[in-house]
Amino acid sequence: MTTERGTRRRAPAGAAVLREDVTDAIRAAVFEELAAVGFARMSIEGIARRAGVGKTAVYRRWKSKLALVLDLVAAVAAQGVPAPATGSLYGDVRAVLELAAYALRHPVASQVIPDLLVEAARNPEISEAIKAALLDQQQGVAAVVVREAVARGDLPEGSDPDRALDLIVGPLYWRLVVVRGELPKGYLDDLAASAVAALKHV
């Protein structure tokens, strides 16, 4: 007679639930590895070593370093950035600049973003992921800022959110990512005022 014990089957190893803390550790290691060596030199071995896990733990979750980075970028994009609601155009523009400056000055992001943008020029998959994570998200925020400003009468009908995004974030990106210069005291205040003035003079 077959016993109850004998009829039970152990779940295959591949069906085991993936530990979330290990996944989080690997994702954090990817950011650090990208900042340290860049995408081209990044390896699954280096990521695993930095995360304190075996290579198998990484491959069970992602088939390649490209898949890993694409997933990571998508996860960042999914978090989203809420559109500001300060009640004034200047306040909203200043809030957007504050968030953008914080992100661009982050020691890891300041290394990772430029490197991925270079890779995006060579790889359509990375290009699409970066577009979703950076451009689409920021365009959504700019659209809300412009829509609310038009509703208040701060901006004329037909104001272009894409132009607004260029005027608001473009100079900041140039300063922090391309030139890699420091932000003098009051820089964000002055930049917000300049952007608002430019937006009102379409």
pLDDT tens-place string over residues 18-33: 788 899 999 889 888 8
Instruction: Round to whole Å and give the CA distance between 83 and 68.
Output: 28
pLDDT of residue 6: 44
Question: Given CA atoms 180, 178, 173, 156 in this order, what sign does their dihedral have?
Answer: positive
Closest CA to 88 of 135, 151, 181: 151
Q: What is the pLDDT of residues 127-183, one digit of tens each?
A: 888 787 777 788 889 999 999 999 999 999 999 999 999 999 999 989 988 888 889
- The mean pLDDT of the chain is 84
pLDDT of residue 182: 86
Amino acid at 93: V
